[in-house]
Structure 1
């Protein structure tokens, strides 16, 4: 069952029913100021950090779901309704929500009145614009009352939900004209405030929540709206809000437009005040003035659209399959921007409080984003590396506002350091900028400990090879990529965190074959980089370590038909045919085949055949099989989940692309394509009622074959699935792969394909690439022509900036 449709021309998903199986959301903003918005206008806004700078309040896991947001109430005589259906839930005559690239438009119609609300964050602006267009489509004069509503959060989103003995006494506001200012704690320790304005005279306002709603009313029935009369309440403590009341009269066919601005300001300590206890509003007024007419708001919106037109022109495929094209050209790249901005911190599944920017996560997110804005990727790499320790270990997460490591989580996740090599090399291959390696980057944000970024890569590599277990395989630490495989935890206390508790570490034999594969994949890249830089001694040293690791994996990590997952604390195999449950895992088989370990001996083919036989199902590739049906204290959190969910045999979409890439290593394009389609959202749109999450973005997890409801997805948007699937489809299936000295074209596609076309902008030049597959092979390039001339390599050279070149690649 579908709840909308793709509008590819406008790069929008159009939702035609407000009652989607789960709130289907979008993100506004792409740099400092951000908002989450659902298809019924739920959600919230924040500046940089959803924990420490949350502007508006939102209640997760509420009843009913998705309550609270930026709401508009229309009072038309005795009828009260909202254009997004919620919160009033008054039946609408028509409804439509269009989620686009960093904007959302919601249109509701009732009794001859249409209200279109356009929400977006203009470029380089610390504010959300809400443009309302109200039209009288009836034949009668309409007298309406319009009420806006947003609820202020008291900045720290965690304290906002718990410290009520203080919170109920601190809220402060100012009102000046049609602008409501939120200034809680501004007079003491804060240098920032928020505001909510409208570009029209107002009949009145309210800033106290209980006055506006009535103490025992909900979002759907505000007393002020029912009465049709604002109370002009001024919040003193309790729960501050912002609501404007506008009275308007519309002739038949008449339209009126209003621009609301929800913004954020920071003032230096010497410019906080206009006069005693009166905040300095200069910056707020300047922003409001930039958007104080519909014409100005429209111009900013056009600029945002142009920005995304440019970003999405960098990589485009024409394949003849509209579902593939829309994901590669639009939605997958868009999701990669969102995951770059937020890592795993804030969505409708992540509260923005418990997690910051992940070291591992952010490095992986770069591989799907770096082609869009390499300069921002460069800055992110420096930020990530700055949270590393001198021995190569690192904080698992850092806070986006402070860019400092999160002490509550700490480190000890032993796969983390190697991902820095992936992120950095991906940036260099895209940009050609080797100077990043000479940047002096602190350890633990201590500039006195700074060394070059290349030194950071070296200690990342060494952190793995210096922490090996009895089989010569990497020690797992608290966990590896799978945060729920906690082989040193041994927890019987429900108050302990699986991921930060290590009850047994001394003498541990817990080793990870997944990290071994990771070391080989990106250790090879590190060696290639060293040779490119002329660091032959370091390349030789690293090669010896890689060779030893390959030997250790073949000797101790191979189970006969697949790669085992790990050794536990006691030195027993995990992910082996010797186990009763959890005999085979996806992670080690993905990374070891990506690394080509045992390729010549046929190990990769055997492992991938076992994955298809034992892990593959109609909804994707599950993480492990058989699912755990009891709690194994020596394994930790993974066995705490019910069978078929999350890390316990769910389809963990993040690592499905590792198998896709592994299949391309051995040349099986049909399998790689089959796996790609199985979890790609646009191919699942028809089963949206089962899938539940948005049909335009990837989810982290789809319930596996052992689950109560196989095929049901959770945790959409903020997942490494976005970057890894774009990486897999663009660089390994379509085979358009950036390299140090150009673009390498090496497709691995379904044999039935006749070919495809790619437009790729790379270092200032445009490559129009046509791949021809008249021989119906899956892999292999036999001829390349550039601008009509034979080119004796599948590595296309770097061309002069501003030039366009025609490339024909023949497979065979």
Structure 2
């Protein structure tokens, strides 16, 4: 069952009913100001940090399950002036009023969302977006009268302010119910409500809400606007057709503004609502600090200037065109035509779009992540940039340096950091022993994409401590040496608090209700080991060695030191590889780990949790067992024991009882999350692994099982958005197999783009050129690929002939790698037979 359809030409997903199984959302903003918006208008906005700079409120676990950011009310009025009363009220986004609409359509586009609705002959179109380089959300609303007679329609827009710190706002009521402050400015042409809570103290920022037409009333007190017993679906001010012009003093500040439109038959009016964020220097906070009459009046000039940039429909539409053009350029860096429309739309549009969102926000703010507890993940952000680096390499470079600056001096890392402060998050801590190696993966991807080795010489702090600066290359060395020096009894890397699987807590032994598995004391005794990290070390340790050999001398290392360091790392890689093939091999698949008692995890000797997905993918990607059949056997076991119609489960059989020696993984119900769910994040590893050993059909099958476009027809089962990946689906042992959760902010996006672009389509950037080796099933006979790489556009036409050959600009080239184009080249034409 579907609830909408793809419009590939418009790059939109068209939702045809507000009654989707779950709220289906979109993200607005690419830089500092972000908004979440659902197909019924819910969501919230924040600046940079969803915890520390939350602008509007959102209530998780609320009823109904969608609420927040933007509340709009259209009221068909009877009478005139102060005597006018509403005869019908509805929302152009369906919520919050819930009046059944005569027609409804929500189009989630790339960086914008548009609602088309109609009720009793009043047609409305609401487009929400964040303009480029702007700390504001624009809501452009058109109202058209199709009734055949003159009508009066009151339009009310409303937001509810969050008092900046989202955690404090949701908990510290004894303070916050007294601190909320607003200021109202009526200019004659419009009304602006300013949210200036704590501005007179330690803050240098405020927010504002306004509309570009004169208003017939406003409210800034939620209690006055809603009334004592009403909710957002039926505010008293809306029901009575009269605003209170209230000014909030503490309690629950809002910004609600009403505009009255008189529309002749066929007439259409446009309104521009803006939610903006302003920062001002400390010495410019006040309108006139020397005038006693103006003490406490905020400096509104920056807000006036910001609003003036978008205060007409013409300006708004121009900004929307600029946003679209920006996405044309970004998405245009990788475009394909394969003959499979589902594959094309995911590669060309939605997968890349989701990669941008995950790069921006990591795992911080979604309808499943509250934005309060998680910032930017060390592991997460390094993986996210794998699918993003081709779009804006400069931003990827900055992100790498931010991440590296949270690394600790011994090579380990804070597990997360706050995007506003860029400081390690002490509430989460560290000790996740996979974290350091992901930095190597991120830097290696950046170097392959750009060739910019200057990043390796960039002085970068440890733990953001002044005076601790070392070149980024030294950070990579410490990352690799951390794993080299933290190995256990079997010669495998120690797992620490956990590895990629945060819920495999082999050193925690938690028995206290409510205690966080990820922050409880880490009782690491040097015994619990990770086969998964072993695969990582073989893969990323080799990448580090290649970085050394290619760039070490340019970074000031002596040739002998480069050779010695690379040799030492490769010697350790050899030891870990051998340990993986012996202690890490269970007979038909790779084991997952060894627990703190020295017992194997992920073994056929166990009745549950016999096989895990992670080491099968990572070890084969690292080339472990490819020459003796173990890799192929591990992937056969993965297909036979873990794969179902919805994808490949993280483990099987699921655990039925809590095992204190395993931790959180055994606390989930069977078939959900890490206990037997289908974790979409590591399904691409299995696809890549199959491509690595030439199982092209299975590589593509693994890709399609979790790909949104290929499962769209099962939306009533899948429930989450059919245009983006979710973190997990309920596994075959769950009561609701195939049900998705945790959509949008997942490493699935980046890893799937790596899989489909570099392995299935086979266009892989390297230090020496673009390697082109497709791994697609036989039905794909012709491919057209355009790839922007290092400032040159590569136009690739590939034909399946069964006989490999490569020509670059008409000249035959041996092998499968297109050499780096000469300086000044704008376009290269590549012909490939495969």
Global fold match (TM > 0.5): yes
Q: Equivalent residue for 1:235?
A: 248
| Alpha-carbon contact 2:375-2:418 (below 8 Å) kept | yes
Question: Secondary structure of 1:291's match?
Answer: coil
Shift of 1:782: 1.9
Shift of 1:529: 1.3
1:371 and 2:380 correspond:
no
Mapping for residues 432-581 of structure 1, pairs under 5 Å: 432-502=451-521, 504-505=523-524, 507-533=525-551, 534=553, 535-581=562-608
Among 720, 738, 750, the residue aligned to 1:693 = 720
- Residue deviations 1:630-672 (CA, integer Å, cap 9, x gap): 1111000000001110000100000011111110111111000
Shift of 1:447: 2.6
| Alpha-carbon contact 2:650-2:676 (below 8 Å) kept | yes
Mapping for residues 56-67 of structure 1, pairs under 5 Å: 56-67=56-67
Among 354, 363, 383, the residue aligned to 1:344 = 363
- The CA distance in 2 between the partners of 1:782 and 1:503, in whole Å, is 53
Q: 1:230 to 1:402 in 2, by over 3 A?
A: same
Shift of 1:789: 1.1
1:395 and 2:414 correspond:
yes
Shift of 1:495: 2.7
Shift of 1:802: 4.9
Shift of 1:530: 1.3
1:197 and 2:215 correspond:
no
Using the TM superposition, name which of 231-240 and 781-790 deviates more: 781-790
Among 261, 264, 281, the residue aligned to 1:268 = 281
Q: Equivalent residue for 1:28?
A: 28
1:587 and 2:614 correspond:
yes
Q: Equivalent residue for 1:778?
A: none
Shift of 1:68: 2.3
Q: Equivalent residue for 1:763?
A: 790
Among 791, 801, 817, the residue aligned to 1:795 = 817
Question: Secondary structure of 2:675's match?
Answer: coil
| Alpha-carbon contact 2:773-2:816 (below 8 Å) kept | yes
- The CA distance in 2 between the partners of 1:460 and 1:114, in whole Å, is 59
- Residue deviations 1:522-565 (CA, integer Å, cap 9, x gap): 11111111111252221111111111111111121011110000
1:680 and 2:707 correspond:
yes
Q: Extract structure 1 runs of 4+ deviating beyond 6 A.
A: none
| Alpha-carbon contact 1:113-1:137 (below 8 Å) kept | yes
Q: Equivalent residue for 2:780?
A: 753
Question: Secondary structure of 1:771's match?
Answer: strand
Q: Equivalent residue for 2:308?
A: 289
| Alpha-carbon contact 1:763-1:801 (below 8 Å) kept | no
Shift of 1:404: 0.5
Aligned residue pairs total 805
- The CA distance in 2 between the partners of 1:106 and 1:51, in whole Å, is 29
Gaps of 5+ in 1: 776-780
- The CA distance in 1 between the partners of 2:741 and 2:604, in whole Å, is 30
1:139 and 2:148 correspond:
yes
Shift of 1:490: 0.6
| Alpha-carbon contact 1:368-1:724 (below 8 Å) kept | yes
Shift of 1:770: 1.2
1:152 and 2:152 correspond:
no
Q: Equivalent residue for 2:689?
A: 662
| Alpha-carbon contact 1:27-1:35 (below 8 Å) kept | yes
Question: Secondary structure of 2:728's match?
Answer: strand
Q: Equivalent residue for 2:374?
A: 355
1:221 and 2:234 correspond:
yes
- The CA distance in 2 between the partners of 1:400 and 1:295, in whole Å, is 34
Shift of 1:371: 0.1
Q: Equivalent residue for 1:12?
A: 12
- RMSD after superposition: 0.9
Among 148, 151, 173, the residue aligned to 2:182 = 173
Mapping for residues 8-157 of structure 1, pairs under 5 Å: 8-77=8-77, 78-157=87-166
Among 808, 811, 822, the residue aligned to 1:786 = 808
Shift of 1:125: 0.4
| Alpha-carbon contact 2:680-2:728 (below 8 Å) kept | yes
- The CA distance in 2 between the partners of 1:508 and 1:395, in whole Å, is 20
Among 630, 633, 637, the residue aligned to 1:603 = 630
Question: Secondary structure of 2:738's match?
Answer: coil
Question: Secondary structure of 1:278's match?
Answer: coil
| Alpha-carbon contact 1:389-1:443 (below 8 Å) kept | yes
Question: Secondary structure of 1:273's match?
Answer: coil
Mapping for residues 696-707 of structure 1, pairs under 5 Å: 696-707=723-734
Shift of 1:752: 3.1
Among 797, 805, 810, the residue aligned to 2:828 = 805
- The CA distance in 2 between the partners of 1:163 and 1:447, in whole Å, is 34
Using the TM superposition, name which of 478-487 and 495-504 deviates more: 495-504
- The CA distance in 2 between the partners of 1:171 and 1:122, in whole Å, is 28
| Alpha-carbon contact 1:491-1:503 (below 8 Å) kept | no
- The CA distance in 1 between the partners of 2:754 and 2:729, in whole Å, is 20
Shift of 1:509: 1.1
- The CA distance in 2 between the partners of 1:503 and 1:750, in whole Å, is 46
1:185 and 2:198 correspond:
yes
Shift of 1:794: 1.2
- The CA distance in 2 between the partners of 1:503 and 1:297, in whole Å, is 53
Question: Secondary structure of 1:449's match?
Answer: coil
- The CA distance in 1 between the partners of 2:807 and 2:69, in whole Å, is 55
Q: Equivalent residue for 1:386?
A: 405
Shift of 1:306: 0.2
- Residue deviations 1:76-110 (CA, integer Å, cap 9, x gap): 13101001111111010100111111111112110
- The CA distance in 1 between the partners of 2:676 and 2:629, in whole Å, is 26
| Alpha-carbon contact 2:497-2:522 (below 8 Å) kept | no
- The CA distance in 2 between the partners of 1:343 and 1:210, in whole Å, is 36
- The CA distance in 2 between the partners of 1:215 and 1:36, in whole Å, is 29
| Alpha-carbon contact 1:56-1:151 (below 8 Å) kept | yes
